[in-house]
Structure 1
């Protein structure tokens, strides 16, 4: 998206460099990515960087509302509430489509947001390997707020581990070795110093949790949570005997599971910004828009596998039996802004925040990107294309 940087990058690219880049990531993490990593990062011009940060901060302002917990009290399904929710999430990720405004300027449009950690350790491994194997201009950065590679991992370690013994903090997931994101678990152990533990490996004694670390029963004081609890609920029967995480346990959560639901599609109708598509809870929709073809209907929760309705009709809206569990949202049109040797591509940019307990506001630290040439964004939808897949951004600052 920075034309001169894009042109220079495409000219320097060779498949040998790309293969060395992939090997560099695998050597650093100790395992190869189980998803396609794009041949290129995304180069974000200063004007778009400014808009992305503005959009994020406007969203953060809503999360900071004193009544945020009360307006999102119905966001958490009653059977998925976990005790001991804290006052704020420790991680927030905000996803934007890159679009073009009517005048042709680039602009972000909110797609999704989550109070949940994602790929925080691995994303800097990826960015570092892009810098190692390609000529990334020095004035562009994958970090924000004066952070560098050393201070980035220091911040993560301080928030995830803090003053606790690292062996008493675990990354918790269900069947971690089967997850496509497991390269991040390896990087988390390397750079943060904590082990990944499967839910089925937890041992409960009263309210306390333990796990076997090299054969030694070790207490768990803090969980760096990577479990999505509605997924857990679907898999619960096939997991066999395992600890019930919905009970009163003597453990601290980073991030507490309830925030996954509070900061989600449920939040979007409360956000009023030029960078956020208009959204309504369906039961609060004042009138069905005349241009309904420009809207999508999204379930707040995936009940019985129900998905997004893209070509919405008035009959679809009338047929919804639980309108309080759906939102109607203006469609977002991705712009093909990334020029590649095999044709233009679209992209999403994920802005990644951490929120230490000592900070009055979340801190923007890193990013993630997904590049696609199809209708769907996501690393699982790009199996045959090239110059697509998971990536990261390097930002120009004004």
Structure 2
């Protein structure tokens, strides 16, 4: 998106560099990515960087409202509530589409947000490998708030491990070896020295949890949670015997599972910003718009784009049996903003926050990007194209003019 940087990158790119880049990622993590990694990062100009930060901070202001827990009391499905919810999430991710305004300038438009961690460790690996194998200007950064690689990992250690020994903290997932995000689990293990444990491997004694470390029963005092609980509910019947995580347990959560639902599509109707498309809960929709082609219908309780209806019809709306669990959102028009040697691409940018205990506000730390040439933006929808897939951004800061 920064024309001079984009042109130079495209001209200097070689397939050999890209292969070396992928080989370097595998060397750093111990495994190859299970999803397509794009040939390019996204270069974000100062004007768009400024708007992205502004949009995020306006959303954070909503999260800080004194009545936030009250307005989101119905966001958590009753069957999925977990005891001992804390005061705020430790991680927040906010996804924006890159679009164009009427004056042809690039603007962000909110797509999704979640009180949940993302590829926290792997994104640093990817960005570092882009800088190693390609000519990324030193004036651009993948970090925010003055962080560098060392400071970023120190922040993650303080957030995830805290006062405990690393072996007392686990990254918890369901069948982690089968997850497309498993490269991040490997990266987390390597950089934070905490184990990845499958839910079915947990041992419960009273309210305490344990796992076997080299054959020795080891106490779990904190869970770095990567389980999406509605997905767990769908899989439960096909899993081996496992601990019920919805009961009283003597364990800390990073991030507590309830925040996945509180900070989600559920709060989009409450956010009023030029960077947030107008949204309504379907059961509160005053009238069905005549121009439904300009709207998208989203289930509140889904992930990875599942269940989203892009081309909405009146029959779709009439067929929804639980309208309180859906939102109708003004459709976002992605801009073909990323020029590649095989044609223009669209992209989403994920802004990543951490929220330390005792901090007045969450802090913006890192990012993730997805590049696409199709209708759907997720990395699973672009397996046959090139110059698409998971990526990261390098931001230009300073004068946004």
* TM-score where L is the length of structure 2: 0.97
Residue aligned with 1:230, SS: helix
Residue aligned with 1:123, SS: helix
Distance in 2, matches of 1:193 and 1:246, equals: 27
Give the aligned partner of residue 176 of structure 2: 176
Distance in 1, matches of 2:301 and 2:149, equals: 37
- 1:380 equivalent in alignment to 2:380: yes
Residue aligned with 1:137, SS: coil
1:53 Cα deviation after fit: 0.3
Mean CA deviation greater in 77-86 or 287-296? 287-296
- 1:349 equivalent in alignment to 2:341: no
Residue aligned with 1:112, SS: strand
Give the aligned partner of residue 131 of structure 2: 131
Distance in 2, matches of 1:25 and 1:297, equals: 37
1:397 Cα deviation after fit: 0.3
Distance in 1, matches of 2:203 and 2:307, equals: 36
Give the aligned partner of residue 14 of structure 1: 14
Residue aligned with 2:126, SS: helix
Give per-residue Cα distances to partners, 1:332-382, cap 9 Å, x unaligned. 011111111111100000000000102110000000000011111011111
Give the aligned partner of residue 52 of structure 1: 52
Q: Name the Cα RMSD after superposition.
A: 1.3
- 1:89 equivalent in alignment to 2:89: yes
Give the aligned partner of residue 339 of structure 1: 339
Distance in 1, matches of 2:269 and 2:302, equals: 18
1:320 Cα deviation after fit: 2.7
1:314 Cα deviation after fit: 3.2
Distance in 2, matches of 1:88 and 1:33, equals: 32
Distance in 2, matches of 1:290 and 1:237, equals: 43
Give the aligned partner of residue 167 of structure 1: 167
Give the aligned partner of residue 196 of structure 1: 196
Distance in 2, matches of 1:61 and 1:246, equals: 30
Distance in 1, matches of 2:328 and 2:16, equals: 46
Residue aligned with 1:283, SS: helix
1:144 Cα deviation after fit: 0.2
- 1:38 equivalent in alignment to 2:38: yes
Give per-residue Cα distances to partners, 1:135-170, cap 9 Å, x unaligned. 100000000000011000000000100111111000
Residue aligned with 2:140, SS: coil
Give the aligned partner of residue 209 of structure 1: 209
Distance in 2, matches of 1:352 and 1:287, equals: 35
Count of equivalent residues: 397
Give the aligned partner of residue 115 of structure 2: 115
Give the aligned partner of residue 281 of structure 1: 281
Residue aligned with 1:43, SS: strand
Distance in 1, matches of 2:259 and 2:43, equals: 31
Q: Which runs of 5+ in 2 are unaligned?
A: none
Residue aligned with 1:368, SS: strand
Distance in 2, matches of 1:29 and 1:320, equals: 44
Distance in 1, matches of 2:15 and 2:208, equals: 52
Distance in 2, matches of 1:61 and 1:365, equals: 17
